Amino acid sequence: MFFDKPVTKDAKGGAIAIGNFDGVHCGHRRLLIQLKSLAKRTDGPVVVVTFDPPPLRILRPELSPKPLTTHESKCRLLREAGADFVVALRTSHELLQLSAEDFFDQVIVGALGAKGIIEGPNFRFGRDRRGDVDYLHQRCRTLGIEFELAAVEMDSGDWISSTRIRKEIELGAIQAANRLLLQPYRIHGVVGTGARRGRTLGFPTANLDAISVLVPAHGVYAARVSNVEGIEASIAKSAMHQPVALHIGPNPTFGEDAKKVEAHILDFSADLYGASMELELLSEIRGVQKFPSIEALRAQLSKDIQTTREICLAHKSHPVQSLRKELP
């Protein structure tokens, strides 16, 4: 019907939560803990319902922000955080034209057979977003479906939300964003050709193009290779988990204004052209700057590489622990 694939029998009759779940952060983990408790009481699976693509991309594409995760990564993270099933609604004008009543009857009851629902206080659904949690609670009570408001996860006095994390990434505050996420922030792209200037400087780079997620602010970052596909297996294996000094932005030293994403993979020299590569960002290092000479640039790049090594080593000893927190 409205799903990207048929909902299996095992995924029906569960406790559900519906939303975009962009980024899959610590607030989402809190909701999943609560959802798992509800699923135990109602004797059903933990089911997360998400949208592909997010509704705003269909309704107002000019206002739709770049996502924090790909759809595939989002589904994987939700399962790792405790979902038994992640089902995706195929977002279309037909789906978005359903009234709140029809969405409840056809999707929540008809397709999913929900026994319990948890949603946040700002949840809206149905045509023109006319359905809210009060309406949802009323319909659930009528049909004997358990309803709960999602507990809010706070950090430093503010809600943890995808919007908040997006703002941190737009500022280049990767450490602040990572503290709220269930894994270090990742960008995905295809390795293309660049000016090959880095090779002549002694610091060859892989230029990432076609990046589908939000790119952080201009700057230099410590990162690490988290996945490589579409290339010879032995080369991909040798690149995995290698530290990366990542430069995002223009190259003012050479008078270039074009924004580039250039990854210098430490202790690695093979050609990755055409490969699909994913990097996990660990920390910001410095901003983009213009250097008075090539020698000054080389000296700074050497410092950036040493800083990257230290950050990656420290992260290896003290990785992000969010996903390792035990679910009840």
pLDDT of residue 323: 40
Question: How far are the Cα atoms of 70, 220, 230, 246 from residue 20, in angstroms, in the given order?
Answer: 12, 30, 29, 29
- What does pLDDT average to over the chain? 93
Contact yes or no for 220/278 (Cβ under 8 A): no
CB half-sphere exposure, 142, CA atoms < 13 A: 10
- Tens of pLDDT, residue by residue over 194-235, are 656 666 677 999 999 999 999 999 999 999 999 999 999 999
pLDDT of res. 201: 75
Tokens read off for 308: 């990257």
Torsion angles phi and psi, residue 233, rounded to 5: -55, -40
pLDDT given for residue 77 in this prediction: 97
Across 272-300, b (16+ Cβ under 10 Å) vs e yields: beebbbbbbbbbbbeebeeeeeeeebeee
From residue 250, alpha-carbon distances to 199, 218, 261, 269, 318 in Å are 17, 8, 9, 23, 32
Q: Which amino acid would we find at residue 239?
A: A
Query: Per-domain residue ranges for the chain?
Result: 9-158, 184-317
pLDDT at 198: 60
Give pLDDT, residue 170.
98
Q: What is the pLDDT of residue 88?
A: 98
Q: What is the mean pLDDT of residues 35-39?
A: 98
Q: Does the structure show a pLDDT above 90 at 3?
A: yes
Supply angle C-alpha 124, 125, 127, rounded to 5.
125
Cα 65 to chain centroid distance, Å, stands at 12
Residue 236's nearest CA partner among 275, 197, 203 is 275
Contact 265, 242 (CB under 8 A): yes
pLDDT tens-digit map of 96-154: 999 999 999 999 999 999 999 999 999 999 999 999 999 999 999 999 999 999 998 99
Q: Give the tens place of pLDDT for each residue, 274-322.
A: 999 999 999 999 999 999 999 999 999 999 999 999 999 998 866 654 4
State pTM to two decimals.
Answer: 0.92
For residue 1, what pLDDT is reported? Answer: 75
In this prediction, residues 5-13 reach a mean pLDDT of 96
Is the pLDDT reported for residue 176 higher than 70? yes
Q: Look up the CATH architecture of domain 9-158.
A: 3-Layer(aba) Sandwich (3.40)
- Whether residue 272 has pLDDT greater than 60: yes
Given a cut of 50, whether residue 64 has pLDDT beyond it is yes
Tell the CATH topology of 184-317.
Answer: Elongation Factor Tu (Ef-tu); domain 3 (2.40.30)
How far, CA to CA in Å, does 206 sit from each of 26, 48, 242?
32, 36, 13
* 162 touches 22 (CB < 8 A): yes
